[in-house]
Structure 1
Amino acid sequence: MVTLKYQNLAFSEKEGRIRILFLKIYYFYLDRKELEKIGKLRVNRHSISFRTDKREENVRQKFEFMLTQGFEHLVSTVNGKPALYVHRNSGIPLIGSNDFGIIDRGTNTIEIKPLTTCNIDCIFCSVDHLKRHSDIVVETDYLIEELKKVIEKKENRVNIHIGSQGDPSLYGELVRLVREIRKIRKVNAISMVTNGILINRTMADKLIKAGMTHFHISLHSLDPERASRLANAPYPVKKVMETCRYIVKHAHLLLVPVWMAGINDKDVEDVILFGKEIGADLGVQNYLEYSFGKKPVNPMPMKLFFMKIKELEKKLEVNLTTLNEDLGFKVDTKLKKPFRKGDTINVEIKARGRLLNSYIAVAGERVVTVISSDNLKGHVKARIIRDKDNIFSAVPA
């Protein structure tokens, strides 16, 4: 009998197939008959056993080859979309995309995006998941490995912000990710932005113990009905408020409501007063319109927005413009750009992108998003049309 154990895989059986759950929210199936060519099998929650005389290394090699094939059919349990697993052997770098990986904007704050999946569908979302046809999830060890390389280039101590085009709380290895980041000597603060739905006291404690120092909670209304309407999904306001009351006693808490003029004006005031009551910092955000985001209302002009923020500061006697400076934000070394806007380069197409008519391509140590309605495969020539912050977009040349 050979038993193979996997911490991040959960096995179950369904209608002659073995269902494999990965990082808690992604899955694929393997055919039982194909697996039994290795040996008669039995599955437990985090292990699979084969009755065979073969050596363990041979069994593992055959099974993990089948796993590799299965990962090509990875699906999100949250939204039913196909998911791409980006790992150290995928041939896909972690710098160059705004969707996933590592983003460095030339400061001592580095943003990492371990996944794109979200558990709600906010009416004002800058991403608009209805326009995204797939999800992406990144291997923890690969993310840490590449993050260390970026940190080494920085002159100052760095802050790591865990963001996402979804919600980081869905990442199955979030606690371990934070723990591994905290081990890096040059790291100062670790923050994350979340809608707070999946963060309870137990999870907050685990994250804080692992090294999380700052929580940014996207709370847009204290009214349960309106909060759910804004989230376009059931939103447990009372539970999130209780979590906020707990976190603020043990870590730094920043409430970051998005202000949509004419939609949640009074709600923003309520959130500000709640933050003032519990001692949280406040960072009110103006709703902004993005090309592939949702558009529930016309954006408030920034000049008007800042004027209204000043009015709220006086009315509610609260600071909304000067955030706590404990993060020590500084301009720092920028990563070098291997190519510039206007350059024509050779790229290798690796996968379909999240948006229609987009591809994830690779050139050297960078990801390049190639925009084309053609069916692209293999190596193609592409002209760079965006290079800001080492985030690259291109079109076929």
Structure 2
Amino acid sequence: MKSVEAHLAEILATVRPLAPLELELERALGTTLAEDVSSPVPLPPFDNSAMDGYAVRARDVADVPVTLPVIDDVAAGSGELRAVGPGHAVRIMTGAPLPGGADTVIPVEWTDGGTVTVTISRTADAGNAVRRAGEDVQTGEVVLKAGTLIRPAQLGIIAGVGRRRVLVRPQPRVVVLSTGAELVEPGMPLGHGQIWDSNSFTLTASVREAGAEGFRATTVGDDPTAFLEQLDAQLVRADAVVTSGGVSMGAYEPVKEALSPLGTVNFEKVAMQPGMPQGFGVVGEDQVPIFALPGNPVSSFVSFMLFVRPAVMKMRGLPAGFPETSSAIVTGALRSPSGRRSYLRGVLAEDGTVSPVRGQGSHQLAALASANALIVVAESVTEVAAGSEVEVIRL
């Protein structure tokens, strides 16, 4: 069987970061910068007040209490030039330009709040409550480097340096397609031998949680021709395709039957449990990556975490590789088949212990829903005693 590492390496060698495009800021959240962003001006662009109060000369408030005449008001956004002479004060609002001659701001809470004269009860050094021009960003300074994921704060600084559009790698468009004649749309009545489709919902949500756009396609039965028709219809909007089901060794495996003759998709056994049957390759004129995952719900989810999510990260232009692991102490004994790496479901606690959930079958979705971690057991290990240290992947 193929190793987990070899399968992921093949995937990451095949997928490519998406080509950059320029987007309006409203559409840039969740994308990855494809250029350095710098500021054309200092930030803030001018000295301004950090508080509502009074702009004065520090030496005029060295001895308090002191009463000064209020000669003017200055509001945020004011474009008029103002100045403060010796022994005077200007009432100033947060964000307003500091008047010429002033070197400090006295918060209104330290005064009687007067509008004609103001009595100041506390002294302040020069620079108090003053935001100096350029103290956040200097002219020409790079505020974000290419490869940065754009979250709300990053979006804010891009707008803050005056950019309306930005060059980014967009969020990949990933189509999810479940197969199986037994699948019924949730909300519809079940017939004999049927189950409600859960995989397409789990996988589409996983795609979106990984920072891509997920599109859930209509479920296909066990007809390879119908599967190919649905696949062809979806490729026009797909940067990648994820299927579930139809990849095992038995009869009625539509994904495997439809894609194997193309010669661009390989179906192999990967040394892991759950999720041993795996398919991967490219389809269509644009060589769109396709991930053919097994149909058992836990198998498809674990496969997504190990193989599809890293590929999505690479397509987004972000670091890609195996999920990070941490150490924990397992509270119960574990068993694992020889020669296969197990990913058992567990509940990771704040005290650093992890407890295996009841129900480790690859079909037991309720057990997966109760877990918050995968417990990793190496290929060479068949038994793990309670109290042993194990590696876990946080979900």
Q: Which has the higher helix share?
A: 1
Give me the TM-score of the superposition, normalised by structure 1: 0.25
Higher relative contact order (CA 8 A, sep 6+): 2
TM-score (norm 2): 0.25
User: Which is greater in Rg?
Assistant: 2
